[in-house]
Amino acid sequence: MSDHVSIDRDRLGRDLYQLIVDLYPVCRSITGNGVRESLARIQKIVPLDVHEVPSGTAVFDWTVPREWNIRGATIKNSRGDTVLDFDDCNLHVVNYSAPVSRKMRLDELKSHLHTLPEHPDWIPYRTSYYHETWGFCMSHRQLEALPDDEYEIHIDSTLEDGHLTYGELYIRGESDDEVLISTHICHPSLCNDNLSGVAVATLLAEHVSSTPRRYSYRFVFVPATIGPITWLAQNEERARRIRHGLVLACVGDPGQPTYKRSRRGDAEIDRAVEHVLAHTAGGYTVEDFSPYGYDERQYCSPGFDLPVGCFMRTPHGRFPEYHTSADNLDFVTPESLADSFCKVASVLDVLERNRRYRNLNPRCEPQLGRRGLYDSVGGKQLTDDDRMALLWVLNQSDGGHDLLGIAERSGLPFERIWWAAEALLAEHLLEPAPQAR
């Protein structure tokens, strides 16, 4: 995968953004028809397999919950006027609310209303997956405008035995070793968290499918927490083939990229992401692993300890729009989406080409001039950096150091180190070393 540089970023940004626009109105949750509908839309782009796991299925310490679906919800005043309607915004209902139909005074209703006084025009996003309740979310201004009255509340939802639905795309490569890309798909009308991850993962899957590859790739679109737990419980053996992995979340806001390392901290994926961030434009932040955040928590639990990091822009909870109606189509930008895509594609590109080699002329330096490797190679005038790259690769290729490690130690970009290795291979000065596990 070396053609990422030729990607048309403007078009890519528009395509990513358009996919978010398309998925934005759907009311998703950790189960139910919103997830199915979202996966069906993604299937128009890549041939996802859709898996249905029955409610009640034991998955490690958890149980697949009942399926939640909602058709509508309203609050009406005593004159019968609708003062709040789920059809206007699917954040208006606490996600996973039990069905309810009754009348009550404002005082009693207030214990079921959620607002954000510090952002009086925004609607909060609230869930209650594992504790049965019901509730409404509205802007604080809307609440303050409600007079004391008797209100008729109605939530037309169902919580019944059904299924947990997730999407999976396996793209076979030369090797059985796998790269995992995982994103959550359970939030209703919220853009950065999590439609940005869904959009980037979808077009990345399309990109990977169309590119020659060494690794096999597995893209999973799962509800947060219970989704990866379910996937891992049902694929315990297969999970051991995962050599590198990334969770994608919050990748569309204008903030700079943030990478959260895997639990191992120094896995090849950690090194690859940090290298790409250091050698591409723009600032970035790297954070150590912590057992909080997105689905890396499950992939990095000690019984799996998979090399899976999390690629984000501004992390969850560190932008005020997080989990509110302000995480909308204005908050994510085509430029940020395209930048996230290109950086992750570059990481995959590094993983694909990162190898260990052995110097076939290890006793003192080979004579580069005699082999036409000193001034120009293949018509290309060599720069000082090119010559340094050749010397670094020759010096470090003892079978123990990979090209990424040589790039890190030399301070040169991976691209140049890889070029040097290819030139030395062509002159029979290197041979591939057995790949370490």
The site for Zn ion (CB under 5 A) is made up of: 193
Least spacing, CB of residue 189 vs Zn ion, in Å: 12
Whose Cβ is closer to Zn ion: residue 319's or residue 419's?
A: 319
Whose Cβ is closer to Zn ion: residue 193's or residue 349's?
A: 193
3-state helix, strand, coil in the chain (%, to 5): 35, 25, 40
Least spacing, CB of residue 107 vs Zn ion, in Å: 31
Whose Cβ is closer to Zn ion: residue 178's or residue 193's?
A: 193
Whose Cβ is closer to Zn ion: residue 222's or residue 377's?
A: 222
Task: Record the tokens describing residue 179, joined without a space.
Answer: 């790269």
Task: Record the tokens describing residue 304, joined without a space.
Answer: 């799996």
Least spacing, CB of residue 125 vs Zn ion, in Å: 8
Least spacing, CB of residue 371 vs Zn ion, in Å: 56
Closest by alpha carbon to 108, among 131, 82, 134? 134
Least spacing, CB of residue 182 vs Zn ion, in Å: 14
User: What does each C-alpha distance from 143 to 43, 242, 255 come to in angstroms?
Assistant: 40, 49, 32
Beta bridge partners of 54: 163
Least spacing, CB of residue 60 vs Zn ion, in Å: 22
3-class DSSP state of 154: strand
Least spacing, CB of residue 39 vs Zn ion, in Å: 18
Beta bridge partners of 358: 398, 431
**Buried/exposed 267-301: b ≥16 CB within 10 Å, e otherwise:** bbbbbbbbbbbebeeeebeeeebeeebbbbbbbbb
Whose Cβ is closer to Zn ion: residue 193's or residue 296's?
A: 193
Are 157 and 97 in contact, with CB atoms under 8 Å apart?
Answer: yes
Whose Cβ is closer to Zn ion: residue 193's or residue 321's?
A: 193
Least spacing, CB of residue 224 vs Zn ion, in Å: 7
Whose Cβ is closer to Zn ion: residue 15's or residue 193's?
A: 193
Instruction: Give the integer Cα–Cα distance in Å for 212 and 363.
Output: 36
Distance of CA 82 to the CA centre of its chain: 38
Closest by alpha carbon to 249, among 267, 227, 266, 232? 227
Backbone angles phi, psi at 245, to 5 degrees: -155, 155
Least spacing, CB of residue 395 vs Zn ion, in Å: 47
Sort residue 80 into left (φ over 0), alpha (ψ -120 to 50) or beta.
left
DSSP string, 336-385: HHHHHHHHHHHHHHHHHH--EEEESS-SS---TGGGT-SSEETTEEPPHH
Least spacing, CB of residue 49 vs Zn ion, in Å: 25
Instruction: Give the integer Cα–Cα distance in Å for 16 and 205.
Output: 12
User: What does each C-alpha distance from 366 to 153, 359, 363, 394, 427 come to in angstroms?
Assistant: 82, 10, 8, 9, 11
Whose Cβ is closer to Zn ion: residue 127's or residue 216's?
A: 127
